[in-house]
Structure 1
Amino acid sequence: MTKTRPAAKATATSSRAAKNAAAQGEAQGTERRRRTLRWTAAIAAAAAVTGGLYAVFSSSSSSAGSGKATYQAGTPGIGATAPGFALAASTGKKISLAGYHGKTVLLYFQEGLTCQPCWDQMTDLEKDAAKVKAAGVDQILSVTSDPADLITRKTKDMKLSTPVLSDPDLAVSKQYDANSYGMMGTSRDGHTFVLVGPDGKIKWRADYGGAPKYTMYVAPDKLLADLKAGEAK
Protein backbone atom coordinates (compact mmCIF):
# COMPACT_ATOMS: atom_id res chain seq x y z
CA MET A 1 0.00 0.00 0.00
CA THR A 2 1.36 3.46 -0.95
CA LYS A 3 1.33 5.96 1.90
CA THR A 4 0.76 9.67 1.27
CA ARG A 5 3.47 11.73 2.80
CA PRO A 6 2.52 14.53 5.23
CA ALA A 7 4.02 17.16 2.90
CA ALA A 8 1.92 15.86 -0.01
CA LYS A 9 -1.21 15.91 2.16
CA ALA A 10 -0.49 19.50 3.23
CA THR A 11 0.03 20.53 -0.38
CA ALA A 12 -3.24 18.89 -1.47
CA THR A 13 -5.12 20.50 1.42
CA SER A 14 -3.62 23.91 0.62
CA SER A 15 -4.56 23.52 -3.04
CA ARG A 16 -8.17 22.64 -2.18
CA ALA A 17 -8.40 25.60 0.19
CA ALA A 18 -7.06 27.92 -2.49
CA LYS A 19 -9.57 26.58 -5.03
CA ASN A 20 -12.42 26.94 -2.53
CA ALA A 21 -11.37 30.50 -1.71
CA ALA A 22 -11.14 31.36 -5.40
CA ALA A 23 -14.57 29.85 -6.06
CA GLN A 24 -16.06 31.75 -3.12
CA GLY A 25 -14.49 35.01 -4.29
CA GLU A 26 -15.83 34.48 -7.80
CA ALA A 27 -19.30 33.73 -6.43
CA GLN A 28 -19.25 36.88 -4.33
CA GLY A 29 -18.10 38.93 -7.31
CA THR A 30 -20.87 37.47 -9.44
CA GLU A 31 -23.46 38.29 -6.79
CA ARG A 32 -22.19 41.87 -6.54
CA ARG A 33 -22.46 42.26 -10.30
CA ARG A 34 -25.98 40.81 -10.23
CA ARG A 35 -27.00 43.24 -7.48
CA THR A 36 -25.61 46.15 -9.47
CA LEU A 37 -27.44 45.01 -12.60
CA ARG A 38 -30.69 44.59 -10.65
CA TRP A 39 -30.28 48.06 -9.13
CA THR A 40 -29.48 49.59 -12.51
CA ALA A 41 -32.53 47.92 -14.06
CA ALA A 42 -34.72 49.17 -11.23
CA ILE A 43 -33.39 52.68 -11.70
CA ALA A 44 -34.02 52.53 -15.44
CA ALA A 45 -37.61 51.37 -14.86
CA ALA A 46 -38.20 54.06 -12.24
CA ALA A 47 -36.68 56.65 -14.54
CA ALA A 48 -39.16 55.71 -17.26
CA VAL A 49 -42.04 56.12 -14.82
CA THR A 50 -40.66 59.39 -13.51
CA GLY A 51 -40.14 60.66 -17.04
CA GLY A 52 -43.78 59.97 -17.81
CA LEU A 53 -44.92 61.71 -14.66
CA TYR A 54 -42.59 64.57 -15.44
CA ALA A 55 -44.36 65.05 -18.75
CA VAL A 56 -47.75 64.93 -17.05
CA PHE A 57 -46.88 67.28 -14.20
CA SER A 58 -45.41 70.03 -16.34
CA SER A 59 -44.14 72.30 -13.59
CA SER A 60 -40.63 71.87 -14.89
CA SER A 61 -38.11 74.34 -16.25
CA SER A 62 -40.62 76.17 -18.43
CA SER A 63 -43.04 76.97 -15.59
CA ALA A 64 -40.23 77.59 -13.12
CA GLY A 65 -38.52 79.96 -15.51
CA SER A 66 -41.74 81.96 -15.94
CA GLY A 67 -41.97 82.46 -12.19
CA LYS A 68 -44.83 80.03 -11.58
CA ALA A 69 -42.95 77.59 -9.35
CA THR A 70 -44.26 77.72 -5.82
CA TYR A 71 -43.06 75.99 -2.71
CA GLN A 72 -44.05 74.87 0.74
CA ALA A 73 -41.84 75.28 3.80
CA GLY A 74 -41.62 72.23 6.02
CA THR A 75 -39.83 71.60 9.28
CA PRO A 76 -37.26 72.08 10.61
CA GLY A 77 -37.66 75.62 9.36
CA ILE A 78 -36.09 79.04 9.71
CA GLY A 79 -34.28 79.52 13.02
CA ALA A 80 -33.97 75.82 13.83
CA THR A 81 -30.61 74.13 14.17
CA ALA A 82 -29.86 72.11 11.04
CA PRO A 83 -29.52 68.38 11.87
CA GLY A 84 -25.93 67.25 11.53
CA PHE A 85 -24.79 64.43 9.27
CA ALA A 86 -21.79 62.66 7.75
CA LEU A 87 -22.48 60.78 4.51
CA ALA A 88 -20.50 59.05 1.77
CA ALA A 89 -20.20 61.36 -1.21
CA SER A 90 -19.40 61.38 -4.92
CA THR A 91 -16.01 62.81 -3.96
CA GLY A 92 -14.98 59.40 -2.62
CA LYS A 93 -14.94 60.67 0.96
CA LYS A 94 -17.45 61.25 3.73
CA ILE A 95 -18.78 64.78 3.95
CA SER A 96 -20.18 66.27 7.13
CA LEU A 97 -22.23 69.40 7.66
CA ALA A 98 -19.99 70.25 10.60
CA GLY A 99 -17.08 70.47 8.18
CA TYR A 100 -18.67 73.63 6.74
CA HIS A 101 -19.17 75.43 10.04
CA GLY A 102 -18.61 79.14 9.48
CA LYS A 103 -19.86 78.95 5.90
CA THR A 104 -23.29 79.24 4.30
CA VAL A 105 -24.39 75.94 2.77
CA LEU A 106 -27.33 75.27 0.48
CA LEU A 107 -28.57 71.69 0.93
CA TYR A 108 -30.35 70.31 -2.10
CA PHE A 109 -32.40 67.16 -1.42
CA GLN A 110 -33.42 65.52 -4.71
CA GLU A 111 -34.91 62.34 -6.16
CA GLY A 112 -31.65 61.04 -7.58
CA LEU A 113 -30.81 58.91 -10.59
CA THR A 114 -34.42 58.50 -11.66
CA CYS A 115 -34.86 62.26 -12.03
CA GLN A 116 -32.84 63.80 -14.87
CA PRO A 117 -34.33 67.28 -14.26
CA CYS A 118 -32.84 67.11 -10.76
CA TRP A 119 -29.38 66.67 -12.25
CA ASP A 120 -30.06 69.38 -14.80
CA GLN A 121 -30.79 71.58 -11.80
CA MET A 122 -27.24 71.07 -10.55
CA THR A 123 -25.80 71.64 -14.01
CA ASP A 124 -27.54 75.00 -14.29
CA LEU A 125 -26.62 76.05 -10.76
CA GLU A 126 -22.99 75.32 -11.57
CA LYS A 127 -23.27 77.41 -14.74
CA ASP A 128 -24.63 80.25 -12.59
CA ALA A 129 -22.00 79.79 -9.88
CA ALA A 130 -21.25 83.53 -9.79
CA LYS A 131 -24.90 84.34 -9.08
CA VAL A 132 -25.05 81.62 -6.42
CA LYS A 133 -21.96 83.08 -4.75
CA ALA A 134 -23.40 86.59 -4.96
CA ALA A 135 -26.51 85.32 -3.15
CA GLY A 136 -24.27 84.46 -0.20
CA VAL A 137 -24.01 80.71 -0.77
CA ASP A 138 -20.52 79.31 -0.15
CA GLN A 139 -21.26 75.67 -0.97
CA ILE A 140 -24.04 73.52 -2.43
CA LEU A 141 -24.38 69.94 -1.17
CA SER A 142 -26.89 67.60 -2.79
CA VAL A 143 -28.43 64.64 -0.95
CA THR A 144 -30.20 61.65 -2.48
CA SER A 145 -30.95 58.06 -1.52
CA ASP A 146 -29.01 56.35 -4.33
CA PRO A 147 -25.82 54.31 -3.69
CA ALA A 148 -22.56 56.26 -3.57
CA ASP A 149 -20.91 54.33 -6.42
CA LEU A 150 -23.76 55.03 -8.85
CA ILE A 151 -23.91 58.68 -7.78
CA THR A 152 -20.18 58.97 -8.40
CA ARG A 153 -20.56 57.53 -11.89
CA LYS A 154 -23.41 59.93 -12.66
CA THR A 155 -21.53 63.03 -11.52
CA LYS A 156 -18.51 61.99 -13.59
CA ASP A 157 -20.66 61.35 -16.66
CA MET A 158 -22.23 64.81 -16.32
CA LYS A 159 -18.93 66.45 -15.31
CA LEU A 160 -20.49 67.88 -12.14
CA SER A 161 -18.33 69.25 -9.34
CA THR A 162 -21.12 69.63 -6.79
CA PRO A 163 -20.71 66.96 -4.08
CA VAL A 164 -23.64 64.53 -4.05
CA LEU A 165 -24.18 62.64 -0.80
CA SER A 166 -25.67 59.17 -0.46
CA ASP A 167 -28.44 58.73 2.14
CA PRO A 168 -29.61 55.18 1.28
CA ASP A 169 -31.83 54.62 4.30
CA LEU A 170 -33.18 58.21 4.26
CA ALA A 171 -31.93 58.72 7.83
CA VAL A 172 -30.80 62.29 7.15
CA SER A 173 -33.61 63.06 4.72
CA LYS A 174 -36.19 62.11 7.34
CA GLN A 175 -34.55 64.41 9.88
CA TYR A 176 -35.14 67.22 7.40
CA ASP A 177 -38.53 65.79 6.34
CA ALA A 178 -37.27 66.15 2.77
CA ASN A 179 -38.90 62.88 1.70
CA SER A 180 -42.40 64.24 2.23
CA TYR A 181 -42.52 66.44 -0.88
CA GLY A 182 -42.08 64.23 -3.93
CA MET A 183 -44.15 62.29 -6.44
CA MET A 184 -42.56 59.00 -5.27
CA GLY A 185 -44.20 59.20 -1.84
CA THR A 186 -41.91 59.01 1.17
CA SER A 187 -39.51 56.52 -0.44
CA ARG A 188 -37.45 59.30 -2.05
CA ASP A 189 -36.70 62.96 -1.56
CA GLY A 190 -38.65 65.54 -3.52
CA HIS A 191 -37.06 68.83 -4.51
CA THR A 192 -36.10 70.55 -1.27
CA PHE A 193 -33.61 73.34 -0.60
CA VAL A 194 -32.40 74.23 2.89
CA LEU A 195 -30.06 77.17 3.47
CA VAL A 196 -27.84 76.66 6.52
CA GLY A 197 -26.02 79.68 7.90
CA PRO A 198 -22.48 79.89 9.30
CA ASP A 199 -23.86 79.29 12.80
CA GLY A 200 -25.57 76.04 11.80
CA LYS A 201 -29.07 77.58 11.90
CA ILE A 202 -31.55 77.31 9.03
CA LYS A 203 -31.94 80.64 7.24
CA TRP A 204 -34.39 79.60 4.52
CA ARG A 205 -36.23 76.53 3.30
CA ALA A 206 -38.22 75.69 0.16
CA ASP A 207 -39.95 72.38 -0.62
CA TYR A 208 -40.78 72.67 -4.33
CA GLY A 209 -41.52 69.02 -5.01
CA GLY A 210 -44.92 68.67 -3.36
CA ALA A 211 -48.40 68.11 -4.76
CA PRO A 212 -50.13 69.11 -6.88
CA LYS A 213 -47.41 70.36 -9.26
CA TYR A 214 -44.50 68.08 -8.27
CA THR A 215 -41.86 70.55 -9.44
CA MET A 216 -38.57 68.84 -10.26
CA TYR A 217 -36.65 71.81 -11.61
CA VAL A 218 -36.48 75.48 -10.66
CA ALA A 219 -34.65 77.97 -12.84
CA PRO A 220 -31.64 79.35 -10.92
CA ASP A 221 -32.84 82.98 -11.15
CA LYS A 222 -36.21 81.98 -9.68
CA LEU A 223 -34.58 79.87 -6.98
CA LEU A 224 -32.18 82.62 -5.91
CA ALA A 225 -34.97 85.21 -5.98
CA ASP A 226 -37.02 83.01 -3.65
CA LEU A 227 -33.99 82.56 -1.42
CA LYS A 228 -33.36 86.30 -1.13
CA ALA A 229 -37.04 87.02 -0.51
CA GLY A 230 -37.22 84.29 2.12
CA GLU A 231 -34.17 85.58 3.97
CA ALA A 232 -35.62 89.08 4.00
CA LYS A 233 -38.76 88.03 5.89
Structure 2
Amino acid sequence: MTDTTRLAPGDDAPDFTLPDADGNPVSLADYRGRSVIVYFYPAAMTPGCTKQACDFSTNLNELEGAGLAVLGISPDAPAKLAKFRETEGVTFPLLSDADKSVMQAWGAFGEKKLYGKVVNGVIRSTFVVDAEGKISVAQYNVKATGHVAKLMRELDVAQAAG
Protein backbone atom coordinates (compact mmCIF):
# COMPACT_ATOMS: atom_id res chain seq x y z
CA MET A 1 0.00 0.00 0.00
CA THR A 2 1.29 3.44 -0.84
CA ASP A 3 1.42 6.29 1.61
CA THR A 4 -1.98 7.62 2.50
CA THR A 5 -2.62 11.24 1.53
CA ARG A 6 -2.82 13.32 4.68
CA LEU A 7 -4.78 16.52 5.07
CA ALA A 8 -3.18 19.53 6.73
CA PRO A 9 -4.43 22.86 8.10
CA GLY A 10 -5.37 25.15 5.22
CA ASP A 11 -6.45 22.30 2.92
CA ASP A 12 -9.99 22.22 1.55
CA ALA A 13 -12.01 19.61 3.43
CA PRO A 14 -13.11 16.91 0.98
CA ASP A 15 -16.89 17.15 0.69
CA PHE A 16 -19.07 14.13 1.38
CA THR A 17 -22.64 12.97 1.69
CA LEU A 18 -23.13 9.86 3.83
CA PRO A 19 -26.15 8.14 5.42
CA ASP A 20 -26.67 8.70 9.12
CA ALA A 21 -27.87 6.09 11.61
CA ASP A 22 -31.41 6.51 10.28
CA GLY A 23 -30.34 6.29 6.62
CA ASN A 24 -30.81 10.03 6.01
CA PRO A 25 -28.15 11.77 3.90
CA VAL A 26 -25.84 14.18 5.74
CA SER A 27 -23.41 16.37 3.81
CA LEU A 28 -20.41 18.31 5.04
CA ALA A 29 -21.86 21.20 3.00
CA ASP A 30 -24.83 21.21 5.41
CA TYR A 31 -22.41 22.63 8.01
CA ARG A 32 -20.96 25.43 5.88
CA GLY A 33 -21.02 28.66 7.85
CA ARG A 34 -20.05 26.97 11.13
CA SER A 35 -17.16 24.89 12.37
CA VAL A 36 -17.50 21.13 12.63
CA ILE A 37 -15.40 18.39 14.22
CA VAL A 38 -15.25 15.40 11.87
CA TYR A 39 -13.80 12.30 13.50
CA PHE A 40 -13.19 8.84 12.07
CA TYR A 41 -13.29 5.73 14.24
CA PRO A 42 -12.88 2.02 13.44
CA ALA A 43 -16.02 0.35 14.82
CA ALA A 44 -19.12 1.19 16.83
CA MET A 45 -19.63 -0.69 20.10
CA THR A 46 -15.97 -1.40 20.72
CA PRO A 47 -14.44 -0.14 23.99
CA GLY A 48 -12.24 2.65 22.60
CA CYS A 49 -14.80 3.89 20.10
CA THR A 50 -17.51 3.86 22.76
CA LYS A 51 -15.31 5.88 25.14
CA GLN A 52 -14.54 8.43 22.41
CA ALA A 53 -18.20 8.80 21.33
CA CYS A 54 -19.35 9.14 24.93
CA ASP A 55 -16.69 11.80 25.59
CA PHE A 56 -17.93 13.80 22.60
CA SER A 57 -21.56 13.40 23.79
CA THR A 58 -20.70 14.44 27.36
CA ASN A 59 -19.02 17.61 26.08
CA LEU A 60 -21.40 18.36 23.20
CA ASN A 61 -23.07 21.34 24.92
CA GLU A 62 -19.68 22.98 25.51
CA LEU A 63 -18.52 22.22 21.97
CA GLU A 64 -21.74 23.56 20.46
CA GLY A 65 -21.51 26.60 22.74
CA ALA A 66 -18.10 27.26 21.15
CA GLY A 67 -19.70 27.00 17.71
CA LEU A 68 -18.58 23.42 16.95
CA ALA A 69 -20.81 20.67 15.60
CA VAL A 70 -19.62 17.02 15.78
CA LEU A 71 -19.86 14.26 13.16
CA GLY A 72 -18.58 10.72 13.78
CA ILE A 73 -17.80 8.51 10.77
CA SER A 74 -17.13 4.76 10.71
CA PRO A 75 -17.52 1.95 8.16
CA ASP A 76 -20.44 0.51 10.19
CA ALA A 77 -23.86 0.05 8.57
CA PRO A 78 -26.57 2.55 9.58
CA ALA A 79 -28.43 -0.14 11.58
CA LYS A 80 -25.35 -0.76 13.74
CA LEU A 81 -24.87 2.99 14.18
CA ALA A 82 -28.51 3.32 15.30
CA LYS A 83 -27.99 0.55 17.88
CA PHE A 84 -24.74 2.24 19.04
CA ARG A 85 -26.53 5.60 19.35
CA GLU A 86 -29.38 4.09 21.37
CA THR A 87 -27.18 1.89 23.58
CA GLU A 88 -24.65 4.61 24.42
CA GLY A 89 -26.87 7.71 24.22
CA VAL A 90 -24.80 9.33 21.45
CA THR A 91 -26.33 12.76 20.76
CA PHE A 92 -24.64 13.81 17.51
CA PRO A 93 -24.83 12.36 13.98
CA LEU A 94 -23.03 9.08 13.31
CA LEU A 95 -22.38 8.51 9.61
CA SER A 96 -21.75 5.32 7.64
CA ASP A 97 -18.84 5.21 5.18
CA ALA A 98 -19.30 1.56 4.21
CA ASP A 99 -17.00 1.68 1.16
CA LYS A 100 -14.43 3.77 3.07
CA SER A 101 -14.17 6.26 0.19
CA VAL A 102 -14.57 9.29 2.47
CA MET A 103 -12.02 7.86 4.91
CA GLN A 104 -9.58 7.43 2.03
CA ALA A 105 -10.18 11.00 0.80
CA TRP A 106 -9.43 12.30 4.30
CA GLY A 107 -6.39 10.08 4.83
CA ALA A 108 -8.19 8.18 7.60
CA PHE A 109 -7.85 4.74 6.04
CA GLY A 110 -4.60 2.98 5.26
CA GLU A 111 -1.63 1.27 6.85
CA LYS A 112 -1.48 1.28 10.63
CA LYS A 113 0.03 -0.84 13.35
CA LEU A 114 -2.32 -3.08 15.27
CA TYR A 115 -0.80 -5.21 18.01
CA GLY A 116 2.62 -4.89 16.37
CA LYS A 117 1.45 -5.89 12.88
CA VAL A 118 1.02 -3.58 9.90
CA VAL A 119 -2.57 -3.79 8.66
CA ASN A 120 -4.90 -1.73 6.48
CA GLY A 121 -7.71 -0.17 8.43
CA VAL A 122 -9.40 2.90 9.80
CA ILE A 123 -6.89 5.37 11.23
CA ARG A 124 -8.50 7.03 14.24
CA SER A 125 -8.40 10.66 13.14
CA THR A 126 -9.98 13.99 14.08
CA PHE A 127 -10.36 17.15 12.04
CA VAL A 128 -11.81 20.57 12.65
CA VAL A 129 -13.32 22.13 9.54
CA ASP A 130 -13.87 25.88 9.69
CA ALA A 131 -16.94 27.80 8.50
CA GLU A 132 -15.43 28.18 5.01
CA GLY A 133 -14.79 24.45 4.60
CA LYS A 134 -11.04 24.53 5.28
CA ILE A 135 -9.19 22.16 7.59
CA SER A 136 -8.04 24.06 10.68
CA VAL A 137 -6.94 21.00 12.73
CA ALA A 138 -5.82 17.62 11.35
CA GLN A 139 -4.87 14.90 13.85
CA TYR A 140 -4.05 11.32 12.87
CA ASN A 141 -3.55 8.23 15.05
CA VAL A 142 -5.26 9.83 18.02
CA LYS A 143 -5.94 7.88 21.20
CA ALA A 144 -9.59 7.16 22.00
CA THR A 145 -9.20 7.85 25.72
CA GLY A 146 -8.49 11.44 26.66
CA HIS A 147 -8.61 12.69 23.08
CA VAL A 148 -11.74 14.85 23.44
CA ALA A 149 -10.32 16.56 26.55
CA LYS A 150 -7.03 17.22 24.76
CA LEU A 151 -8.81 18.58 21.68
CA MET A 152 -10.95 20.86 23.82
CA ARG A 153 -7.84 22.23 25.57
CA GLU A 154 -6.21 22.86 22.18
CA LEU A 155 -9.34 24.63 20.95
CA ASP A 156 -9.70 26.52 24.24
CA VAL A 157 -13.17 25.10 24.94
CA ALA A 158 -14.13 24.66 28.61
CA GLN A 159 -15.01 21.06 29.50
CA ALA A 160 -18.11 19.80 31.24
CA ALA A 161 -17.66 19.08 34.90
CA GLY A 162 -17.48 15.42 35.64
Bin for the TM-score computed over the shorter chain: 0.7 to 0.9
Superposition deviation, residue 83 in structure 1: 0.3
Superposition deviation, residue 90 in structure 1: 1.0
Q: Structure 2 counterpart of 1:218, which letter?
A: G
CA distance in 2, matches of 1:129, 1:165: 17
Q: Give yes or no for contact 1:90–1:164 (8 Å, CA) kept in 2.
A: yes
Q: Structure 1 counterpart of 2:108, which letter?
A: A
CA distance in 2, matches of 1:111, 1:135: 27
User: Which residue does 2:59 correspond to in 1?
Assistant: 128
| Alignment gaps of 5+ in structure 1 | 1-73, 210-214, 229-233
User: Which residue does 2:27 correspond to in 1?
Assistant: 96
Q: Give yes or no for contact 2:7–2:106 (8 Å, CA) kept in 1.
A: yes
User: Which residue does 1:218 correspond to in 2?
Assistant: 146
Name the SS of the counterpart of 2:109 in structure 1: helix
| Alignment gaps of 5+ in structure 2 | 157-162
Alignment root-mean-square deviation, CA: 2.0
User: Which residue does 2:89 correspond to in 1?
Assistant: 159
TM-score (norm 1): 0.58
Runs of 4+, deviation exceeding 6 Å: none
Q: Give yes or no for contact 1:182–1:191 (8 Å, CA) kept in 2.
A: no
Aligned positions of 1:126-205 closer than 5 A:
126-137=57-68, 139-180=69-110, 182-183=112-113, 185-187=119-121, 189-205=122-138
Q: 1:208 to 1:134 in 2, by over 3 A?
A: farther
Q: 1:152 to 1:222 in 2, by over 3 A?
A: same
User: Quick check: which one's strand share is greater?
Assistant: 2
CA deviation map 1:169-213 (0-9, x unaligned): 1100000011237545323x222101001100001111134xxxx
Q: Structure 2 counterpart of 1:165, which letter?
A: L
Of the candidates 15, 24, 29, which is equivalent to residue 84 of structure 1?
15
Superposition deviation, residue 217 in structure 1: 2.4
Q: 1:85 to 1:216 in 2, by over 3 A?
A: same
Larger gyration radius, structure 1 or structure 2: 1
Match status 1:117 vs 2:48: yes
Superposition deviation, residue 142 in structure 1: 0.4
User: Quick check: which one's helix share is greater?
Assistant: 1
Superposition deviation, residue 223 in structure 1: 2.0
Larger RCO (CA under 8 A, 6+ residues apart): 2
TM-score (norm 2): 0.81
Q: 1:227 to 1:205 in 2, by over 3 A?
A: farther
CA distance in 2, matches of 1:119, 1:194: 19
Q: 1:95 to 1:199 in 2, by over 3 A?
A: same
Superposition deviation, residue 89 in structure 1: 0.7
Q: How much identity, in percent, do the aligned residues show?
A: 24
Mean Cα deviation higher: 217-226 or 121-130: 217-226
Question: How many residue pairs are counted as aligned between the two chains?
Answer: 148
